[in-house]
Structures are given as structure tokens and as C-alpha cells.
Amino acid sequence: MKTINHIKNWKKSIFWIIPMLLLGIIACREELNQENFETSELSVKTSEITKLLPNMYNSKFTFSWTAGNNQGTNSAITYKLELDKKENNFSNPQTFEIGKNIYSYDLLIGDLNSLLINKFGANPDKSIIMQVRITATFGDTSVEPQTAITDFTLTPFKPFTNTLYIVGDATPNGWDITKATALTRSSSNPAEFTYYGQLKQGNFKFAVNQNSCWCQDFYNKDANDDTKIIYNEGGNGVDLQWTIDNASLYKITVNLITQSIKIEKMSGPQFNDIWIVGDASPSGWDVNNPVAFKQDLTNPFIFTLECSLNEGNFKLLTGTKGDWCGEWYRPLVDNQDLSATGVEQNSGCTNDNKWKVTSASAGRYKITLNTASNSIKFEPVNIYLIGDATPNGWNMGSLTPMQKNGSVYTWTGQLNPGEFKFTKFNSNWCDGTEIIAETANQTIANTAFKLRDNCQGDDNKWKVSASGTYTITLNLDTNSLEIK
């Protein structure tokens, strides 16, 4: 009987103990939550780097912060990072919108270095005190924005040059520094420059610009290592140069980060096939059946193509057809217009720069790609009448022009008894391409024609028998001619 009573009493005790324990746990949790709420505070810190160095160019400088406190509202938190000089009090900050649930942000040291100098006026090799501010804003507007600020000190390095030129009696333009040949700057690594072209016996070094003063900055050969470069600020220091013993095609790669140079003797063109691809081109985006350039027989590094370019984009495929991530020739920047001459050979899909043709620049062009110098030229195709049947006769340099509308050329005017043909140049004889009649003394009723390059082959002309006003329409896309 006593045992049963003990059990009943124990059950009654449990009935009261369990609620008390639950209340104690809840109270403890509330106390812990309150403690965390009170001690949680937004803070920000930076990498411990204080002196930026050129060899850190592609390394990361990290800003990191703790989570903001949403006051227990469970609302989303959005972060904004700002940088400014300490004395500016964030009146002119560099702002980065970070987003949600992100607690760090990386800047490449090369980009940070440029920011310090170009935006905040820092001087190379002199320290500058900066501030970073992180701001947390909340989806629940009842929670006030929170900020944290930290000072940090950085010493930037002198920025790399944006241009590099090869000069010397081994180079195409000799020691005339005003005509020094530009190297191509890599779009993926701004500290890397490449020269691809002919070099003669002689010496060379590198200048940062084409100023006539030899007191500018140069890169010379290291006295102890031919594969290393040294920086001669203001032309000071020992003027050591590299020597070319055998004239040939060379590829030279200079890396300003590693202060290295690689000189490669090339035996011939890297590629023998070039195609145009893009909605601005006659190929469209068909990489399997693109329109081909013509390789020059006397200089295999030169490729030419005459075609109509429509509004849109294009790039140049090489190596093998059908591979979107294969080998390409692309401009140095995306949406490059047709005025710049720089071109870069690269592979893959990551760096996918293209040329941009606008409605204003659309038309027919002769495109010349020089794979030895990595340069490209776009020449608008103009058509002229030449011959004693035309108003300006055989006067080279003042020929009768046709009006151009895309690939269609028209002319209306007086033709006299005599001969005529068409030419795509207006400077010197045998300096380009002529459009000639299929046969000699061909009547204007027969509009069949063919091309004649550099005065090679037949020199057939049309024969006009009667004076009159004629309208001539030539379409180079459809290879059709109409004479009325």
C-alpha cells in the first residue's frame, strides 16, 4: 500500500516538475538570445597587406564583415561596401553593391592599386590612409540600417604602362622611336605584351611610348639573365639591349609582373586558314561553313577578304572549322569599331571580343589581316569608271566614282564612243583589283565580267559605240552588272 502511495506521489511531482523544467529552458533560451542580441555587432576588417607590390597584381585583397543584426525580425539583410580616403568622410566613395548573405568581397590588387592612384590621388610608394564602410540594410524597415567603419593603410606601386613599343635597328622601323612598333597588350593579363613579326640582325629594347625624347622610361635586358627585363625609369641605368643574330619571324612575349621576356623564332605562319563568322558577315554564325580569307602567295602571313558587312558583330575563326571554343582572331576590346588596327589571337570561349558594325558603318570592305604583326585593316571598297568613254578618261587619280549603297554601286551619266572598265582603286596603276569585261571589245549588251588583280592577265574592256546617257548598276554581292 505504501508503495502505491509513493508511486502516486511521484507522479504528482513529475506533473509539476516537467512544466517547471520547460519554463526554465525557455527562460534560459530567452536569456541566451537576449545575450546574443546585445553582443552581436556589425564589424568589418581587411587583409593584413599594407604595401602593394607589382608581383601581387593578380592576387586578391579581401574585405570581410560579420552579419548584421535583424533584431530578431528574420528579415533579409543586404550589404553595401564603400571605400574612400579617411579625410573624405565618404563624400566620394567607391561603392560596391554586395547583395544578400555575402560576407566578403575581393578586389584584385592590380585593380585596387589603380583605384588608389586614379580615383583617390595616391602617389606610388607613399602610404595613404583609407577607410572601408559596410552598411547593412534590412527588409523590415522597422530595423534601422547598421554601419561599421575600419581604417586601413596602403602603399601603392607605380602602375604598369598601358603601351609598350619595340625599338632598335633589329625592328621594322629602326631607331626612329616616333615610329616604334607597338606590342599587343593581352586582354586577359594587362601586364603581358606580345610582338609577332619580322626582326633583322641588330639590337632592340622596349619604350613605354613613342615620344621623341630618349629620357622616357625603358625596359632593358638584365645584365645577369637574358630572360629577364629591368625597368629603367627616365632612361637611367645601363642601356643593355637584346641582340638578334639571324633575321626571321619572331614572337616576343614580355611580362611586366614576372619581369620576364620570352623570344621565340618562328618558322612560318601559325595558321594557313582564316574564316569570318558573325551576323555582320556573309557567313552568319555558321562555324561549319564560314567564308574564307585568301592567303597571299608571296607573303603567307597576309590574309585578305572582300565582303559586305551588315549591322551586327563578327570575329575571325582560324585553326579548324566547327569549334566555338577553338582558335580565333579577335579585337582587343569587345564591340570594337572598324577603325582600330590591333588584333589578338587567342583560343577558348571566355575572352569573346568581337568587332561591331553599326548601321552607319555597314557596307563593303576589303579586310586585310596581318598575322605577323597582329594587325587588321578595314578599307571601304569604292568603284570607279576608267576609260576614254567615261567623263574623266584614263586619268588615274581623278577617276569617275560610282555611288555606293552597301554592296550596290550605281552611276548615271554621259558615255562617249570608246572603251571603259571598272577599278577598285584610284591611286596607282596595277595597285589593286579591276573589274573587266569577259572578252575583248565586249558590247555593253553583254554584262559578263571577271576580276583582274595587279594588272595580271587579260585587259578586256567594254566598247561603247554610241554616245548617250547611261545608268550602270553593279552588285558585288550577287556579281551582277546592268547597263541601260
State mean pLDDT over 444-465. Answer: 90
**Residue, of 143 and 5, whose pLDDT is higher:** 143
- Alpha-carbon distances, residue 382 vs 281, 329, 415, 438, 447 (angstroms): 19, 26, 20, 21, 20
What CATH number has the domain bearing residue 281? 2.60.40.3620
Q: What span, in angstroms and rounded, lies between the C-alpha atoms of 20 and 208?
A: 81
Q: Give the number of residues written for the chain.
A: 484
Judge whether 308 lies within some domain. Answer: yes
User: Of 154, 186, 214, which residue constitutes the final position of a domain?
Assistant: 154
Tell me which of 346, 380, 414 is where a domain ends: 380
Indicate if 394 and 428 belong to the same structural domain. yes
pLDDT (average), residues 298-320: 93
Residue 2: pLDDT above 70? no
CB neighbour list of residue 454: distance below 8 Å, 6 or more residues apart: 430, 431, 432, 433
Q: How does pLDDT run across 371-394, given as a tens digit for each residue?
A: 988 899 999 999 999 999 999 899
**pLDDT value at residue 462:** 96
Question: What is the mean pLDDT of the segment spanning 339-345?
Answer: 92
Could you tell me the three cell numbers for 381?
571598297
C-alpha cell belonging to residue 69 = 543584426
Tens-place pLDDT, residues 102-139: 999 999 998 999 999 999 999 999 999 999 999 999 99
Whether the pLDDT of residue 367 is over 90: the answer is yes
With 60 as the cut, is the pLDDT of residue 52 above it?
Answer: yes
pLDDT band with cut points at 50, 70 and 90 for residue 422: very high
Residue 246 lies in a domain: yes
Instruction: Quote the number of domains for the chain.
Output: 4
Burial of 294 (0-12, 13-18, 19+ CB in 10 A): exposed
Least-confidence region, from 101-115, 256-270, 277-291: 256-270
Average pLDDT across the chain, whole number: 88
The residue-averaged pLDDT of 236-245 equals 90
Instruction: Give CA 365 to chain center in angstroms.
Output: 22
Structural domain boundaries, residue 101: 44-154
Give the pLDDT band (50/70/90) at residue 36.
very low
Task: Mark whether 363 and 407 lie in a shared domain.
Answer: no
Q: Is residue 29 part of a domain?
A: no
Binned at pLDDT 50, 70 and 90, residue 35 comes out as very low
Q: pLDDT tier at 210 (50, 70, 90 boundaries)? A: very high
Least confident span in 184-193, 199-208, 455-464, 468-477? 184-193
β partners of residue 412:
471
Q: Is the pLDDT of residue 30 over 60?
A: no
Residue 23 lies in a domain: no
Predicted confidence (pLDDT) at residue 76 exceeds the cutoff of 80? yes
On whether residue 28 sits in a domain, the answer given is: no
What pLDDT is stored for residue 28 in this prediction?
A: 40
pLDDT score recorded for residue 373: 84
- pLDDT of 40: 61
Same domain, 205 and 291: no
User: Is 427 or 81 the better-scoring residue by pLDDT?
Assistant: 81
Structure confidence by residue, pLDDT tens digits, 463-476? 999 999 999 999 99
